[in-house]
Amino acid sequence: MSGSFTVMKPGLQTCVQELPGRIGFLEQGFPFSGPFDAWSFRQANLLVGNDRDTAALECQFLGPTLKFQSDCRIGITGADMRPVLDGKAVPMWTTTEVRAGQELALGAAIVGARSYIAISGGIATESVLGSRAVFHQAGVGGCALVAGQDVPLGNGTEANEIFTIPEARRPVITSDKRWSIEALKGPNDDWLSEEMIETFFSADWKVQAKSSRTGIRLTGPEFAFSERALNKNADHGHDPSNIIDHGYPLGAVNLAGQTPIILVHDSPSTGGFINPFTVASAALWKLGQVKPNEVLNFRCIDRAEATDLRAGIDAATRAGVLERV
């Protein structure tokens, strides 16, 4: 049975997201979008019997208050925003039954940055360019939720089983404000000096407040460049970090002058700056949970390890991880 919910308070840029995102439109300037922390997103959907890629809500730093207009099941994962249903605490990483007329409220994130709310049947907003994922800055697929908005839901399955995600299969959202981020060299690591490459993987990099779903800006050591960057053809641009416009991979550590910016889900797909390193796809979920002023330490891995990490996360986001309560 389909239904809806009403937004009583929108939270901070709460958006509808969906996997795999908006595929096939990079050349037209449309990013992938999709959930920042796909691990938590998919586990939330599993809890309510949805396909793991079904449209759900991403809540950033401060969660929303929602009033449900129909019976449904919800699953909340990711950052701890102390969710309550009609004032009573709701367990995270566990299925919760909701009745029509009840209100769900999420507060500020205690640990982590983004929570995910999946609802049985999924969110049934209009699909734009093949996806319900919201690119808020451009208004593609809609925008962040606003107070008074009614959001439609799809048809959920008739089920009354309660599930939980065992703690050992959940993403570890650290509370010590320091994150280890797996990254690979390339595609433009040869534009940096060998000493700088070593420095990148040994230094502390602080997350700037000026970070978003477009890019994570970092503060750290000054970059040193190789001969290739310092003595290049004029068509590459005057700054050592400039290069002839080329494609940017998702997760690229993009170097604009002396400011490294990790390009994430709403980032541009091409430009004229080098990308000396790329965050492994299996580590992107961590970037969705970091907060300003937290510290990143990058760990150098190769493609084989990146593939193994990706396989591990894929296994942790399948129905087999669920336990009945």
DSSP result, 278-300: EE-GGGHHHHTT--TT-EEEEEE
User: Does 325 fall in a domain?
Assistant: no
Indicate if 88 and 151 belong to the same structural domain. yes
Q: Is the pLDDT of residue 122 over 70?
A: yes
Indicate if 9 and 151 belong to the same structural domain. yes
pLDDT of residue 23: 94
Question: Can you tell me the distance from the alpha carbon of 227 to that of 190, in angstroms, rounded to the nearest whole number?
Answer: 9
| Residue closest to 261 by CA, chosen among 325, 213, 190, 191 | 213
Question: At which of 151, 171, 191 does a domain end?
Answer: 171
Indicate the average pLDDT of the chain.
Answer: 96
User: Which residues span the domain enclosing 257?
Assistant: 178-315
**177 φ, ψ (degrees, to nearest 5):** 65, 25
Indicate if 157 and 252 belong to the same structural domain. no
Tell me what the mean pLDDT of segment 188-201 comes to.
98
User: Does 221 fall in a domain?
Assistant: yes
Prediction pTM value:
0.96
pLDDT of residue 98: 97
Q: What is the pLDDT of residues 75-97, one digit of tens each?
A: 999 999 999 999 999 999 999 99
pLDDT of residue 1: 52
Confidence of residue 45 (pLDDT cuts 50, 70, 90): very high
What is the H or E stretch that residue 38 is in?
helix 38-47
Indicate if 230 and 162 belong to the same structural domain. no
pLDDT of residue 4: 97
Confidence of residue 8 (pLDDT cuts 50, 70, 90): very high
Indicate if 74 and 214 belong to the same structural domain. no
Number of H helices, E strands in the chain: 5, 21
- Look at strands 270-279 and 178-185 and give their pairing: antiparallel
Q: Is the pLDDT of residue 159 over 80?
A: no
Indicate if 197 and 106 belong to the same structural domain. no
Indicate if 27 and 165 belong to the same structural domain. yes
Q: What is the pLDDT of residues 197-229, one digit of tens each?
A: 999 999 999 999 999 999 999 999 999 999 999
Question: Can you tell me the distance from the alpha carbon of 120 to that of 211, in angstroms, rounded to the nearest whole number?
Answer: 32
pLDDT of residue 53: 98
Indicate if 154 and 191 belong to the same structural domain. no
Question: Can you tell me the distance from the alpha carbon of 72 to that of 159, in angstroms, rounded to the nearest whole number?
Answer: 10
Indicate if 197 and 244 belong to the same structural domain. yes
Indicate if 130 and 153 belong to the same structural domain. yes
